[in-house]
């Protein structure tokens, strides 16, 4: 019994203790397990961090490379776009820009359509013999190269082989471990290609590198295009300048010739008119003496003939005088003696002079000259002739009951005088020619009334010698307005 009691008192608590410990162990085990799992997780995460860090470093490196490349490209682009000479564009591709892009070898070819071959425009990083080999290779493979240019795609050491040219082939021929070839302006006149490469085995061409070289090729093509356009424009301008100089010279020679002829004509007209005046005066004088009857009574027929001679002589003297005046003004022998002239006075003097004829032809003359346009700087005698001629013409070409008006107005610096009539008018096509010497419109009045066609040219010469202008506005059957300007008094 005692034994049983001792047993119960020792075994049971021990068993209970054991059970309790076992439970504790289990708990510890599960804690260990979860710790182990956490450690594993942490290990995985550490590995992930390292991997990500490596990738980030790689990306950073690539980014750095790209930035350096972009800077180099930007400097290169600027420097090649700063020249407009084709050869200079290629010469500006210097080794330092290439090395910033990660390459030390480069060359560029342009297709010459006349020679039907590729011409080397720049070559860096190759010996003379290597350069010759490259030239030979490119021209031996013209068709493939032209097809490559048309494909508009870059080719590099990481490109997949296609049936045009294999990267491995190019790598051997161009002695470059890594390289990029890019077409130049495939659609334009300046078709070509550029190559960049390196022997550096660590250099791995990326898509970004290909993109950069493609941009460089576009910039080069643009610079070439600009240079050619400039060259074209420059040539055209030179051609134009040459032509302008030639034409100017021709014109100067022609002008000199015209001046000489005109001077000769003026001299001729003036001397002939002079020579004509003396015999004419004699003819007129003798006719006048005979008409007086002092040399004997004249039969009616003879008198009539003599009167005709007298009239025609008058007309001839008039014409010769006009011709002489024109040639004198034209040659500058007559200078205008300008003074302050009163237009109202001049026109009323002309009105007085012509009043008999105005009455006879039943024409009214109305003069409207406001004070502000009344005073002009002119040669009085010459301006009187202008009015006599213009009013005389208006009378000649206006039927009875018609109206003639003289109106003046002030413009900015000049006085403008208008002589209007309600006469037969002048056809548009003749309105310029009437100011030329001897020109007369072919109309009924002119067939009946004699004239020389010199009056308006004389008027024009006088007005222009004053620094003024003369023009006409006219409508057939309605009338004409002759306008001229004269300088006003200051
Ligand atoms: P002429 O009067 O001696 O013929 P002008 O030089 O004065 O020479 O005029 C040239 C021509 O201009 C005239 O023949 C005439 O045909 C035309 N002409 C000039 N003035 C007028 C006018 N007021 N109305 C219509 N025609 C005119």
pLDDT tens digit string along 157-169?
A: 888 866 556 788 8
Ligand 1 atom nearest to CA at 398:
24
- The mean per-residue pLDDT over the stretch 46-59 comes to 92
Residue 186 pLDDT level (bands cut at 50, 70, 90) = low
What is the CA(392)–ligand 1 centre distance, in A? 9
Q: What is the pLDDT of residue 93?
A: 85
Closest residue by CA, ligand 1 atom 8: 453
Closest by Cα among 200, 205, 199 to 181: 205
Closest residue by CA, ligand 1 atom 3: 451
- The mean per-residue pLDDT over the stretch 318-344 comes to 87
Cβ–ligand 1 distance for 441 under 6 Å, the answer: yes
Contact 111, 148 (CB under 8 A): no
The 10s digit of each residue's pLDDT in 267-295 is: 888 888 888 888 888 888 888 888 888 88
What is the CA(432)–ligand 1 centre distance, in A? 12
Cβ–ligand 1 distance for 69 under 6 Å, the answer: no
The 10s digit of each residue's pLDDT in 385-431 is: 999 999 999 999 999 999 999 999 999 889 999 999 999 999 999 99
Output b/e per residue, 380-407; b: 16+ Cβ within 10 A: bebbbbbbbbbbbbbbbbbeeebebbbb
Q: What percent of the chain has pLDDT over 90?
A: 51
Residue, of 361 and 70, whose pLDDT is higher: 361
Q: What is the pLDDT of residue 23?
A: 86
Q: Is residue 4's pLDDT more than 80?
A: no
Q: What is the rounded distance in angstroms from the CA atom of residue 19 to the CA atom of residue 299?
A: 188
What is the CA(473)–ligand 1 centre distance, in A? 13
The least confident of 115-124, 149-158, 159-168, 291-300 is 159-168
Residue 343 pLDDT level (bands cut at 50, 70, 90) = very high
Three-state SS for 117? strand
Q: How far is CA 9 from the centre of its chain?
A: 124
Q: Is residue 30's pLDDT more than 80?
A: yes
- Residues in Cβ contact with 297 at an 8 Å cutoff, skipping those fewer than 6 apart: none
Q: Where are the beta strands (DSSP E) in 175-243?
A: 178-184, 192-198
Closest residue by CA, ligand 1 atom 19: 393
CA distances from 238 to 229, 242, 248 (A): 14, 6, 15
Cβ–ligand 1 distance for 451 under 6 Å, the answer: yes
Residue, of 365 and 155, whose pLDDT is higher: 365
Can you name the residues that pair with 112 across neighbouring β-strands? 117
Mutate which of 323, 393, 452, 480 for ligand 1? The one with the most ligand atoms within 8 Å of its CB, which is 393
Q: What is the pLDDT of residue 194?
A: 93
- The mean per-residue pLDDT over the stretch 70-96 comes to 84
Q: What is the pLDDT of residue 90?
A: 85
Cβ–ligand 1 distance for 480 under 6 Å, the answer: yes
The CA-based diameter of the chain, rounded to the nearest angstrom, is 217
Residue 16 pLDDT level (bands cut at 50, 70, 90) = confident
The 10s digit of each residue's pLDDT in 347-376 is: 999 999 999 999 999 999 999 999 999 999
Contact 290, 313 (CB under 8 A): no
- Residues in Cβ contact with 221 at an 8 Å cutoff, skipping those fewer than 6 apart: 184, 185, 188, 190
Closest residue by CA, ligand 1 atom 11: 440
- The mean per-residue pLDDT over the stretch 452-462 comes to 92
What is the CA(284)–ligand 1 centre distance, in A? 27
Cβ–ligand 1 distance for 131 under 6 Å, the answer: no
What is the CA(425)–ligand 1 centre distance, in A? 10
The pTM (predicted TM-score) of the whole model is 0.55
Mutate which of 453, 474, 477, 479 for ligand 1? The one with the most ligand atoms within 8 Å of its CB, which is 453
Q: What is the pLDDT of residue 162?
A: 64
| Strand-pair category, 364-368 with 403-410 | parallel
The 10s digit of each residue's pLDDT in 189-218 is: 778 999 999 998 888 888 888 888 998 898
Residue appearing with tokens 């090729």: 217
Mutate which of 392, 397, 448 for ligand 1? The one with the most ligand atoms within 8 Å of its CB, which is 397
Residue 226 pLDDT level (bands cut at 50, 70, 90) = confident
Closest residue by CA, ligand 1 atom 14: 440
Average pLDDT taken over every residue of the chain: 89
What is the CA(367)–ligand 1 centre distance, in A? 21
Q: What is the pLDDT of residue 318?
A: 85
- The mean per-residue pLDDT over the stretch 467-476 comes to 96
Q: What is the pLDDT of residue 439?
A: 93
Q: What is the rounded distance in angstroms from the CA atom of residue 75 to the CA atom of residue 114?
A: 34
The 10s digit of each residue's pLDDT in 227-255 is: 888 889 999 999 999 999 999 999 999 99
């Amino acid at each position: 019994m005692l034994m049983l009691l001792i047993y119960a008192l020792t075994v049971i608590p021990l068993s209970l203790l054991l059970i309790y410990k076992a439970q504790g162990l289990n708990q510890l085990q599960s804690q260990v397990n979860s710790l182990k799992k956490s450690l594993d997780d942490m290990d995985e995460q550490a590995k992930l961090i390292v991997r990500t860090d490596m990738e980030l470093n790689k990306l950073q490196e690539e980014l750095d490379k790209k930035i350096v490349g972009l800077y180099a490209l930007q400097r290169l682009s600027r420097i090649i776009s700063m020249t407009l000479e084709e050869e200079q564009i290629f010469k500006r591709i210097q080794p330092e820009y290439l090395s910033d892009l990660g390459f030390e070898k480069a060359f560029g070819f342009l297709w010459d359509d006349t020679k039907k071959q590729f011409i080397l425009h720049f070559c860096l990083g190759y010996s003379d013999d290597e350069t010759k080999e490259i030239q030979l290779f490119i021209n031996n493979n013209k068709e493939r190269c032209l097809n490559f240019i048309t494909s508009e795609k870059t080719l590099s050491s990481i490109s997949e082989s296609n049936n045009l040219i294999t990267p491995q082939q190019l790598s051997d021929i161009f002695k470059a471990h890594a390289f990029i070839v890019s077409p130049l302006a495939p659609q334009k006149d300046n078709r070509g290609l550029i190559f960049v490469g390196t022997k550096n085995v660590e250099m791995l061409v990326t898509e970004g590198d290909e993109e950069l070289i493609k941009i460089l090729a576009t910039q080069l093509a643009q610079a070439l295009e600009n240079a050619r356009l400039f060259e074209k424009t420059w040539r055209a301008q030179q051609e134009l300048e040459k032509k302008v100089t030639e034409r100017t010279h021709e014109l100067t020679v022609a002008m000199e010739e015209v001046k000489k002829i005109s001077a000769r004509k003026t001299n001729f007209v003036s001397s002939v008119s002079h020579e004509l005046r003396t015999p004419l005066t004699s003819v007129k004088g003798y006719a006048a003496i005979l008409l007086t009857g002092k040399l004997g009574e004249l039969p009616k027929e003879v008198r009539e003939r003599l009167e005709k001679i007298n009239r025609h002589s008058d007309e001839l003297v008039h014409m010769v005088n006009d011709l002489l005046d024109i040639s004198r003004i034209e040659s500058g022998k007559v200078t205008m003696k300008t003074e302050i002239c009163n237009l109202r006075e001049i026109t009323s003097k002309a009105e007085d002079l012509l009043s008999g004829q105005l009455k006879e032809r039943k024409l009214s003359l109305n003069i409207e000259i406001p004070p502000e346009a009344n005073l002009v700087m002119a040669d009085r005698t010459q301006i009187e002739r202008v009015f006599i001629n213009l009013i005389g013409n208006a009378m000649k070409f206006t039927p009875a009951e018609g109206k003639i008006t003289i109106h003046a107005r002030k413009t900015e610096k000049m006085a403008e005088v208008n002589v209007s009539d309600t006469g037969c008018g002048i056809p548009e096509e003749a309105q310029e020619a009437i100011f030329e010497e001897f020109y007369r419109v072919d109309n009924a009045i002119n067939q009946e009334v004699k004239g020389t066609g010199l009056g308006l040219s004389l008027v024009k010469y006088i007005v222009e010698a004053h620094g003024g202008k003369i023009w006409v506005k006219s409508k057939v059957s309605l009338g004409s307005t002759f306008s001229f300007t004269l300088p006003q008094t200051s």
